[in-house]
Amino acid sequence: MARNKETAVILLDVSPSMHPYLKHVARAASTLVQRKMIFSKYDEVGLVIFGVSEASNELYEELGGYEHVSVLRHIQVVDDDILKILDDLPEGSELGDYLDAIVVGMDMLIKKAGPGKKGNKHIFLITDGESFVKDSAEDETKEDQVDKLAVQLTEHGMKLDAVVMRTKRGPNKSKVRTENEFLLKRFAGRPQVEVAFVDSPTSLLGAIKPRNVTPVTLYRGDLELTPNMTMKVWVYKKVSEERLPTLKKYSDKAPRGVPHASHEVKMDIEYKSTEDPDKTVPPDQRTKAYRYGPQLVPISSVVEDALKLKTEKGVKLIGFTDTTNVSRHYYMKESNIFIPEPGNMKSIVAMSALARAMKELNKVAIVRCVWRQGQSGVVIGVLTPYIPMEENFPVGFYFNILPFMEDAREFPFTSLDTLPSNMQPSVSQQEAADNFVKLFDLAPKDHEERLLPERTLNPILQRWYCYLHNKHMNAGAEVPPLDDALRPVVEPDQELLTENEFIIKRFNNQFTLKVNEEKGKRSSQFWKEKELDENARGEEDSAMDDVSQISFDSLTARRVSEVGSIQPVQDFEAMLARRDSDEWVPKAIREMKKLIVDLLDSAYKGNTYDKSMACLTALRKGCVEQGEPSEFNCLLRDLGNKCCGKRHNDFWDLVLDRRLTLINKDEAPDSDVSEEEALAFLNREGPIKAAEEPVEEEEIDEMEALLGEAV
Amino acid sequence: MNTSILASWKRRSQRRGAFFSRDSQILRGKMSSFMSYDRDESSLFDDDDEDQERDSLLDADVGRELLIYMIDASPEMFLPFKNEVEDGEEETYFNAVVKAVTKDMKTRIISRDRDEVAICFFNTRVKKNFQESEGVFVFQASDQANQDELCQPTARLIKDFSNISETFDKDIGSKAGVTPGSRENPLYNALWIAQGLLRKGSVKNSSKRILLFTNVDYPFSDADPAFKKDMRRTTVQRARDAQDLGIVIDCFPLSKQDKGFDIGTFYADMVDMSEEEKENFMAIASDRFESMVSQMQKRLFKKRTVRRLTLTVPQGMKLALQSFALFRPATPGTTAWVDSFDNKLLKSERSFLCSDTGALLSEPLQRFQEYKSEKVCFSLNEVAEVRKITETQLQLLGFKPLECLQEYHNLRPSTFLYPDEERITGSTSAFVALYRAMLCYKKYGVAFLGSNCRMVALVAQAEVSNEIGQVEPPGIHMIYLPYSDDIRHIEKMHGSVENTMPQASNEQIEKATAMIKKLDLKDFTYANYSNPALQRHYAILEAVALKEDDFELADPKDDTLPPEEQMQKLAIAQLVKAFKDSVYGPDHDLEEQELATLKAKGSATAQKRKAAEEMAGNDYDKYDWNELADKGKLKDLTISDLKIYLLKHKLQVTGKKDILINRILTQMGKSKEVRIRLKRG
């Protein structure tokens, strides 16, 4: 339980220059404490502030000095008390000497652990480095002090995490600040010291890693360049997604008032025969089955294990290739890191040579990895060299898994350069976008990179743990709002918006975007918005009418010269709209008539009826508009004779059903048919038979799709 | 913006795209043997997602394929054919086609299980089709119910079809259909029947294709001169009518050794080819045929979600986007539990029990988390509420230079974004403007993805094409970024305290450079590597499903193994040796050997363990373990006796006696089962 127990001291600078930020400092510290309470509740934490006028620490009492350092809480197991102290952090009025504070912290840790005891000891320091650091009593330079402290840290196996707030920005740094930054950077060269310079509350919160995870290697062994040349490497996870904890189901049936009731819920899964619901099939009588076409193929785990791919543990080089051959978006998973086996000087040198050469040549290595013996799969990945800034850390590689052929889908997308001109940005639009991209900058030169992933806390986790704490205090607590410091993760930073207001406005104004009414909304939100589904269906039915409503622009744009069978209605209307010659109208009508007859001729079980009907409707409309009623009337009579009671009787039923009749005199003066006659034409067969609904294929497909989803 | 212009423009580009992209299997790299015919298929008709009706700028929204394999069975097809794919093995054209079609169906059954197929021979002696047309035989699985319907490929169909050569002569027979004096035209009939079979399904959400295999470039050469012209005309008309109905006809012409296959004689007319297409057709077609035969089951097309997203830019501008999952790990597919006696599907029933009282619960609505030794309860709504921090789907937060995107800033596969003009007019031009600006200034966008509560990087990808087609589509890749909670600081863990790390000298770097240059993969692409575990899984599945007698699981070629032979070549080996000597010193192997012998002796504890194992080996035979186990007498032994067995079998030796006995029994029981099962299989 206490294997990873950590003893920590939190050192907070409360000197006057820090006052405006104390709220955020307190947040960062309480985040640290809260997470400890969840993940490592046996950890011990002490709290020290510095920059106060009255000293209270053992060193001051024993030796003198250390005047402005005050211990608010001695090292104790984490609890709510320390959170309460943090909620009401006193403000100091003196300079905050962080070196003094570090010494006090170290002293506390050493005394707590007892002499010579190892164990996880950790110092967290938050300061702004605006206070002057005193010279030592002895004739040591400040650099010497820092180095001495660093050696002490190492000797006692302590880690130091320092967060330095750079509150005053701009080129004119104070002399004190410059000196402090120099000193702190000197610290950072040490393996067990992390110094983070932060500019914003967001990064302040993110700079202290709240959860202490001891990394374990994923692989230790050879990186095989060729069978004759190997290097010893260790592989760790570099990135590992920290998820919301899985909550357990709560049983409200547990006896009340019994303190030891677990309130846990056991889930029982029984497998039952589909035919006989009372028959339960025991585990050893079940077999796993895979789908093969419509069939289920049972493959027992024994057979599967016996036959599956056998792999040998190892990491083998496939080859080197240009960096450009491996795009960033191929990376499939969380990244890993390869480092040379610690202490193995040969591998460290070999890796250093290889990585540097790769960097110079702009190459990456492609490797095949099996992390564990007999692991069921193989992965292919890419190694990218990294070379650390400081010389006392080994050179290594970042590793990312690449997709296999089976994992990729290649859709062709229309090139964005050949889009019609109305979808291309104009020169001024492009210019506005250029400025927007250039200036709406999260990483300007004189500022810390905003939203650096390494310095940005997961807002959901932060909110969740905060909620958990509140709810523990008060069962009726509401979900807390998002921490202010994390707002900029979700919404654009206000400061940045104000700075670039003009640019953003210009970009917004350059484009007019119009939201179109969503046709068939049923698709992606199908399950969410079932009620909309009905509307969509209605819309779809009227889609046929929509086809005929084509704006003038489109008609003139297309120089159609024949009625094709792909989109006959559009072709037909386009031809009618052509004004460059007299021959188009008769030609269009002629071809349309032919097409309708052809469509019906080739119909098989009614598969062309919809189209034929759309054509017929369009032809009727066209004939009315063009004053050619006889053309249509002839055809309709013809069809009536041909279809009615014969092969295409069902089509004729459709015609009658739509009340598509002869064109009468009122509609087109040239017609020789009266309104009565037209009506009579429809009724000539007596009462209309209920047309057999041709089953709509689409619905079937939908059903299939749904069933497919469900299976 | 006029939608109908857009629609027609789209349609045109689609039609053209459709033809070429089908032939684009050599798209990535030169190793075309890896590329399968089916591969680009996916690019065309894919994603039978819920989003079916989506009429978008891309050609990917057609759900399933309805397919007719139309196979010429004329006597010419039974001439010997040198199959290039199978090392020039001699077989008939007909057999080659049967193999290819079998392969294609095997691929389809795994990767596109909604596809439906039918097999239609023409120029046959026996007729079997719903129109009773001469010379056409529609082949069906022996257990298929519906005569004139397409069906999903089944194991039975594949098995029956792959064995067809044995019974073909007896049951179906080959007969030249077009003969002098006869007006029969089996090709025409077959087209008519195929069209009839393909009537089901609208063109909108299924794509219909006829794959025509023949080695006769002019089917009417033997026809009566009087009918010749007419037959040709009606056949072409028939084919064009079919195409007008949205059916695509694909020819797979097989060249005859002596005279080749002239696509221009007849088939080019039938499928309406331009001159330019004609020229390249034969080469491409034979490639396609070969890859159809040689391909393994390379691909699995799981449904890939297509989603709609709205990108919000500061000050309220909203761009409509569509997202595509271009990369997602392929898995062996879903499994279900069946009863091992009758292979009937089982349904699972969950029940919840209170651990304290054993009382049956309805679905519990509360969850709890242990906090400071107390249980803090949450309702499901409260849990959901925590995740809701914004209403915005995708909020743009700013831009950063590309160098800021570290190699390890990655959590999961990327998602591809493309503008959706239909939903918000103007999205495309705004998208293109941002995309170009990002490419130009080498920047990427940072945004917050509300649904996943993740920061994402929006990285513009310029279009990359080669002579065959698009390699990288133009658009924006959305890369999921980690938070500080997710990143581990490994780099500094193993630093040296006092000293600097040893650095490579210039000479060593030079040696490495020379080696890297020699071990270069020039045209590396992930598309050359298929997942060996997945391939293996399909091989097993197929073998079990088809109950293939030659249950031969010769290791499918593992593409991922390094080319060791090449690496052993002198030129390479020398450079590697030079690098090795330079970084490790010339005596490295010797030193390693010494170290290894030292290690082999091992530490004190290891030696002790070894001795114990040796002891165990000696004493093992003193007992008849199986008998003891069967009679339940293991419990009479002492713990140290039991440990003999455990040590021998390299099992864990810790624990109480019961646990040890259990461990022994499990080990025995399992091995027994394996023996039985394997025998049965």
Is A324 a residue whose pLDDT tops 70?
yes
Of the segments B33-37, B364-368, B372-376, B454-458, which one has the largest average pLDDT value? B454-458
Mean pLDDT (chain B, rounded): 75
CA distance B257 to chain A (A): 34
Query: CB-CB: which of A342, A424, A513 is closest to B317?
Result: A513
Band the pLDDT of B10: cuts 50, 70, 90.
very low
Q: Is B46 on the interface with A (CB under 8 A)?
A: yes
Q: Can you read off the two tokens belonging to residue A460? A: 């959901």
Q: Distances in Å between the alpha carbon of B321 and those of A64, A384, B394, B417, B475?
A: 67, 32, 10, 6, 10
Q: Write the pLDDT tens digit of every residue in B494-503.
A: 777 666 778 8
Whole-number Å distance between alpha carbons of A604 and A397: 64
Whole-number Å distance between alpha carbons of A496 and B418: 27
Cβ-Cβ contacts under 8 Å, B356 against chain A:
251, 253-255, 258, 261-264
Better-scored residue on pLDDT, B295 or A565:
A565
Better-scored residue on pLDDT, A396 or A189:
A396
Cβ-Cβ contacts under 8 Å, B405 against chain A:
328
Band the pLDDT of B12: cuts 50, 70, 90.
very low
Check CB contact under 8 Å for A413 and B34: no
Q: Distances in Å between the alpha carbon of B134 and those of A2, B178, B215, B218, B618?
A: 85, 11, 20, 19, 80
Cβ-Cβ contacts under 8 Å, B426 against chain A:
511-514
Which of A615, A107, A512 is CA-nearest to residue B429? Answer: A512
Check CB contact under 8 Å for B336 and A291: yes
Q: Write the pLDDT tens digit of every residue in B150-200.
A: 888 888 888 888 888 888 888 888 887 777 777 788 888 898 888 888 887
pLDDT above 70 as % of chain B = 76
pLDDT at A579 (0 to 100): 64
pLDDT at A212 (0 to 100): 72
Q: Can you read off the two tokens belonging to residue A417? A: 């350069």
Cβ-Cβ contacts under 8 Å, A270 against chain B:
348-349, 351
Check CB contact under 8 Å for B386 and A467: yes
Of the segments A329-338, A678-687, B638-647, which one has the largest average pLDDT value? A329-338
Whole-number Å distance between alpha carbons of A215 and A217: 7
pLDDT at B311 (0 to 100): 92
pLDDT at A211 (0 to 100): 75
Band the pLDDT of B644: cuts 50, 70, 90.
confident
Q: Give residue A682's identity as a one-letter amino acid code.
A: L
The number of beta carbons lying within 10 Å of the beta carbon of residue B66 is: 22
Q: Write the pLDDT tens digit of every residue in A564-597.
A: 777 788 788 877 776 666 777 888 888 888 888 8
Lowest average pLDDT, out of A360-374, A407-421, B62-76, B546-560, goes to B546-560
Whole-number Å distance between alpha carbons of A320 and A364: 6
Choose, out of A331, A379, A386, A404, the residue to mutate when testing the contact with B (most B CBs < 10 Å). A404
Q: Can you read off the two tokens belonging to residue A307? A: 């036959």
Better-scored residue on pLDDT, A606 or A621:
A621
**Which residues, in sequence order, are CB contacts of B648 under 8 Å at separation 6+?**
B613, B616, B617, B620
Q: How far is CA B180 from the centre of its chain?
A: 49
Q: Write the pLDDT tens digit of every residue in A488-546.
A: 899 998 888 988 899 999 999 988 888 886 554 443 333 333 333 333 333 333 333 33
Query: What Rg do the C-alpha atoms of chain B give, in angstroms?
Result: 33
Is A422 a residue whose pLDDT tops 80?
yes
Lowest average pLDDT, out of A511-525, A547-561, A679-693, goes to A547-561
Q: Is B19 on the interface with A (CB under 8 A)?
A: no
Give the 3-state DSSP-derived string for B53-82, with helices as H, strands as E and coil as C.
CCCCCCCCECCEEEEEEEEECCHHHHCEEE
pLDDT at A197 (0 to 100): 86
Nearest chain A residue to B353, by CA? A266
Is A199 a residue whose pLDDT tops 70?
yes
Check CB contact under 8 Å for B413 and A333: yes
Q: Write the pLDDT tens digit of every residue in B232-285.
A: 888 888 888 888 888 888 888 877 766 677 777 788 777 766 666 666 666 666
pLDDT at A517 (0 to 100): 67
pLDDT at A355 (0 to 100): 94
H/E element, A381: strand A379-386
Residues in chain A, total: 711
Which of B671, B313, B542 is CA-nearest to residue A433? Answer: B313
**Mean pLDDT, residues A6-27 taken together:** 89
Alpha helices in A440-518 (DSSP H): 459-473, 487-490, 494-499, 501-510
Whole-number Å distance between alpha carbons of A405 and B326: 11
CA distance A533 to chain B (A): 13
**Mean pLDDT, residues A218-243 taken together:** 91
Q: Give residue A91's identity as a one-letter amino acid code.
A: E
pLDDT at B142 (0 to 100): 73
Query: CB-CB: which of B153, B368, B484 is closest to A209?
Result: B484
Lowest average pLDDT, out of A283-297, B312-326, B478-492, goes to A283-297
pLDDT at B41 (0 to 100): 29
pLDDT at A296 (0 to 100): 82
CA distance B172 to chain A (A): 27
Q: Supply the pTM of this predicted model.
A: 0.72
pLDDT above 70 as % of chain A = 85
Mean pLDDT (chain A, rounded): 79
Which of B75, B131, B69, B127 is CA-nearest to residue B103? Answer: B69
DSSP B397-423: EEEEEGGGS-TT---S--EEEEE-TTT
**Mean pLDDT, residues A129-133 taken together:** 80
Q: Write the pLDDT tens digit of every residue in B210-240.
A: 888 888 888 888 777 778 888 888 888 888 8
pLDDT at A293 (0 to 100): 77
Q: Write the pLDDT tens digit of every residue in B321-352.
A: 988 888 888 877 778 888 877 778 888 888 88
pLDDT at B230 (0 to 100): 85
Is B60 a residue whose pLDDT tops 60?
no
3-state percent helix, strand, coil for chain A, nearest multiple of 5: 40, 20, 40
CA distance B423 to chain A (A): 5
Q: Write the pLDDT tens digit of every residue in A264-320.
A: 888 888 888 877 777 788 888 888 888 887 788 888 777 777 777 888 899 999 999
Whole-number Å distance between alpha carbons of B517 and A360: 12
Band the pLDDT of A332: cuts 50, 70, 90.
very high
Band the pLDDT of B478: cuts 50, 70, 90.
very high
pLDDT at A547 (0 to 100): 34
- Cβ proximity of A205 and A34 under 8 Å: no
pLDDT at B495 (0 to 100): 75
Question: How many cross-chain Cβ pairs, A to B, lie less than 8 Å apart?
Answer: 780
